[in-house]
Structure 1
């Protein structure tokens, strides 16, 4: 499986999740209802297929283990993951790359984010709870 095939599969899963959520939820008109991100993590190098993802919804918060905290952090930054305050953390110098990606909508605006971090500890220190797919 190529990287392109893997990316297409992830995009299709996100679209399917959105269609499922949209079909099962009653119509709502508030901006908060439209706030969602499909977040995913790929562990390993560029050829890795160790990817997991979740649809983070914030009204009410659900989608992964720390959805409530992730939604608070995103609300405080207007949905801009790069503006989440960095936390002081003592992380090992072990290189175990983690690519974090997010696509979605926040306050009616498209959100895209992709960054590779040296390891999971560094990622969490920079992105808070947004990519905490498990509790």
Structure 2
């Protein structure tokens, strides 16, 4: 005769039902769709969502601005379509977005830190860079960090 402690003896019925419960859950869980979202090329899969934050560094009263940039379809950002196009052209790499030509920024030191975290078509994104001012940030990184809609 086997001896089981009282706590284990009371758990035996639940432990024997566990495989059946796991099989039941596996059968009732909906399957994921095989087709990628509209606008996604065949090699790209997954979502495109980035939490964008722009934080002024020199002001104690300034509040960081944030937005959730969604692509496929664009939304959640003042210039979502333009930001998604910039990201698509750079393959989701923010540091590879080409700088705008013919943009002249004032030489005013008002540093801002740009941060983006999330996923671009299923690949993780975590980007942080500090710029001397907002104009320089937008000139170098396109519409991704242009949260005010200008």
Q: TM-score of the superposition, structure 1-length normalised?
A: 0.73
RMSD: 2.0
Which string of whole-angstrom CA distances, capped at 9 and with x for unpartnered residues, describes residues 17-49 of structure 1? xxxxxxxxxx76526450111000001239665
Instruction: Judging by fraction of residues, say which structure has more strand.
Output: 1
Partner of residue 9, structure 1: none
For this pair of structures, how many residues does the alignment match? 109
Which is higher, the Rg of structure 1 or of structure 2? Answer: 2
Partner of residue 91, structure 1: 105
Partner of residue 5, structure 1: none
Q: Provide the C-alpha distance between the structure 2 equivalents of 1:66 and 1:46, rounded to a whole number of angstroms.
A: 25
The one of 81, 85, 110 equivalent to 2:124 is: 110
Q: Provide the C-alpha distance between the structure 2 equivalents of 1:134 and 1:59, rounded to a whole number of angstroms.
A: 21
Q: TM-score of the superposition, structure 2-length normalised?
A: 0.66
Deviates more, 1:94-103 or 1:40-49: 40-49
Partner of residue 13, structure 2: none
Which string of whole-angstrom CA distances, capped at 9 and with x for unpartnered residues, describes residues 88-122 of structure 1? 31111100111100001112111011001000110
The one of 36, 46, 54 equivalent to 1:30 is: 36
Report the CA distance between 1:58 and its aligned residue. 0.5
